[in-house]
Amino acid sequence: MKRTLYLKLLLGYALFGMLGFLTVSTLTSHMALNYIEKQTISSLYREANLLASNYASNYYRGTMTLDDVKSQFETVAAYLDTDIWVVDRNGNILINSQPDSAPNNAIQDFDISSFGTKYYQTSTFFDMFSEKMLSVFSPITINYKVRGYVLIHKSISDLVSYKDGFLNIAYLTLAIIFLCAFIVLVLFTFIVYLPIRRMTRAAKDYSEGNFDTQINVHANDELGYLASSINYMATELSTLEEDQRKFIANVSHDFRSPLTSIKGYIDAILDGTIPHDAQDKYLNIILFETERLNKLTQSMLELNKYGVRGSMMDITDFDINHTIKMVVQSFEGICKDKRISFELILTGQTCIVSADMSKIQQVLYNLADNAIKFSPPDSTITIETTEKNDKVFISVKDAGIGIPKDSIKKIWERFYKTDLSRGKDKRGTGLGLAIVKEIISSHNENINVISTEGVGTEFIFTLPMAQTGKEL
């Protein structure tokens, strides 16, 4: 499996670290040195002014000796870690706080205008130093006349080492941020990346038809919700596959058994095993099986139509009482043979419902057919209609064999027949109630069954009353 997402994250993390380091080592370093330089210049300038006006001028006025001034300057220079000079206008060094650092007493080619308009410069100061220095000057003015200068020199390398000290703090901060980012990365790995990887693996398994894989993500967040949705989807898909397999097995079985018997009897007739005078009986069996196959095909085509729910519905307002009477009439012949009677308890003269009439006719036909098939001779089947809250409840009740408790949920499945009924009805395909269920569901209505084994069965379904039903 590709690990591109994680690789991208790791690359991003490494890039973040590199950019952070690069920024600190270039931009931060440059800005820090600038800042330190500026601060140093302004503090040294203040100091030079102070020394020029308070001490050096005293020397020129004759109120302090050169040695007194020198000893003061030496203290300040040691404190500031700088070199402090007093030079006259010609560049002769009168006071040097650190005489060893400058071997000459006179500055060659001294020219104060080399500072330009600024009061500081960065140089080796007329080659008086071997390294680069930051030099700040302040004139000593007596009676508005410049008599000399106080110069303070600070080594640039000192400033650089300040900056390095500061940068170390920046690097440490960066390292801590990097560590924090690493912790976030680890958390992200566990909270987001690993669950996503588990889901991707599961999805791959599903695409290969293996629906057993379950995703173990129990977080109470969007990912947890996604994982449980995928798990649910996988379970649904697997049952769908199972249903399909069962359906095909049932269809094949239901087609194969009549075909086998038809073929067997035809073979026997052709090769003379069945004598000529007995052929009628077997031809009738062949006819019976052919009719069964025909019914099976019809029912399957019918069920297939309901695959697309709600399609091909022809909703009209009609009298359900009338429809019930018509369906009952069509069973007259069979009822006479079995001595079964129908009792109709119908509300009002008419009861107008809004539904697809031919489909509801089929529902009634299938329910009545079952009631007759599974009722003993000399029994009564009751069909009742009641109105309640804009709905009409239609009940078909028989006193037949009933449905065992553990079969009650399965009777709606395609091809399902209870063991009890198999002996009574060999012609049944087990598709009748599946069709009934589809029709009622496509009307957005409900159907229920109440049954007690050996006592009887009642099917009750609802239909919407027509809006104009009450006036009619």
Binding site for ligand ATP (CB under 6 A): 299, 366, 370-371, 374, 398, 400-403, 411, 416-418, 421, 425, 428-434, 457
Select the binding partner of residue 258 from Mg ion, ligand ATP, none (C-beta < 5 to 8 A, by kind). none
299 is a contact residue toward Mg ion (CB under 5 A): no
What DSSP string runs through 411-465? GGSTT---HHHHHH-SS--S-HHHHHHHHHHHTT--EEEEEETTTEEEEEEEEEB
Of 254 and 319, nearer to ligand ATP (C-beta) is: 254
Of 432 and 469, nearer to Mg ion (C-beta) is: 432
Spatial distance between the Cα atoms of 465 and 320, rounded to a whole number of angstroms:
10
Spatial distance between the Cα atoms of 176 and 29, rounded to a whole number of angstroms:
19
Of 89 and 305, nearer to ligand ATP (C-beta) is: 305
Of 152 and 434, nearer to ligand ATP (C-beta) is: 434
400 is a contact residue toward Mg ion (CB under 5 A): no
In angstroms, what CA-CA distances link 4 with 9, 12, 103, 186, 454?
9, 12, 68, 17, 67
Output the smallest distance, CB 276 to Mg ion, in A. 37
The residue number with the shortest CB distance to Mg ion is 432
Output the smallest distance, CB 255 to ligand ATP, in A. 14
Select the binding partner of residue 134 from ligand ATP, Mg ion, none (C-beta < 5 to 8 A, by kind). none
Instruction: List CB contacts of 1: < 8 A, sequence separation 6 or more.
Output: 197, 200, 201, 204
Spatial distance between the Cα atoms of 270 and 32, rounded to a whole number of angstroms:
111
What is the size of the binding site for Mg ion (CB under 5 A)?
2
432 is a contact residue toward Mg ion (CB under 5 A): yes
Output the smallest distance, CB 363 to ligand ATP, in A. 11
Select the binding partner of residue 421 from Mg ion, ligand ATP, none (C-beta < 5 to 8 A, by kind). ligand ATP
Closest by Cα among 389, 381, 399 to 324: 381
Residues 366-385, mask of contacts with Mg ion (x by CB under 5 A): ----x---------------
Select the binding partner of residue 385 from Mg ion, ligand ATP, none (C-beta < 5 to 8 A, by kind). none
Please tell me what DSSP assigns to residue 55: I
Spatial distance between the Cα atoms of 377 and 339, rounded to a whole number of angstroms:
6
Count of Cβ atoms closer than 10 Å to residue 170 Cβ: 16
Instruction: List CB contacts of 167: < 8 A, sequence separation 6 or more.
Output: 24, 25, 28, 29, 32
Residue written as token pair 């198999």: 422
Output the smallest distance, CB 368 to ligand ATP, in A. 9
Q: Where are the alpha helices (DSSP H) in 62-143?
A: 66-80
Select the binding partner of residue 234 from ligand ATP, Mg ion, none (C-beta < 5 to 8 A, by kind). none
Output the smallest distance, CB 320 to ligand ATP, in A. 20
Select the binding partner of residue 202 from Mg ion, ligand ATP, none (C-beta < 5 to 8 A, by kind). none
Output the smallest distance, CB 413 to ligand ATP, in A. 8
Q: How far apart are the first and last CA of the chain?
A: 70
What DSSP string runs through 248-284? HHHHHHHHHHHHHHHHHHHHHHHTTSS-GGGHHHHHH
| Contact by Cβ (8 Å): 355, 315 | yes
Of 195 and 402, nearer to Mg ion (C-beta) is: 402
Select the binding partner of residue 86 from ligand ATP, Mg ion, none (C-beta < 5 to 8 A, by kind). none
Select the binding partner of residue 418 from Mg ion, ligand ATP, none (C-beta < 5 to 8 A, by kind). ligand ATP
Output the smallest distance, CB 434 to ligand ATP, in A. 6
Of 381 and 465, nearer to ligand ATP (C-beta) is: 381
Output the smallest distance, CB 369 to Mg ion, in A. 5
Spatial distance between the Cα atoms of 386 and 285, rounded to a whole number of angstroms:
43
Output the smallest distance, CB 464 to ligand ATP, in A. 24
Scanning 25-33, 329-337, 357-365, 429-437 for contacts with Mg ion by CB under 5 A, the matching segment is 429-437
Output the smallest distance, CB 410 to ligand ATP, in A. 8
Select the binding partner of residue 400 from Mg ion, ligand ATP, none (C-beta < 5 to 8 A, by kind). ligand ATP
φ and ψ of 46, to 5 deg = -60, -45
Output the smallest distance, CB 431 to ligand ATP, in A. 4
Of 323 and 429, nearer to ligand ATP (C-beta) is: 429
Spatial distance between the Cα atoms of 172 and 164, rounded to a whole number of angstroms:
12
Of 95 and 433, nearer to ligand ATP (C-beta) is: 433
Of 96 and 366, nearer to Mg ion (C-beta) is: 366
How many alpha carbons fall within 13 Å on the CB side of residue 162? 17
Spatial distance between the Cα atoms of 148 and 56, rounded to a whole number of angstroms:
9
Handedness of CA 326, 362, 422, 403 (dihedral sign): negative
Residue ranges that bind Mg ion, judged by CB under 5 A: 370, 432
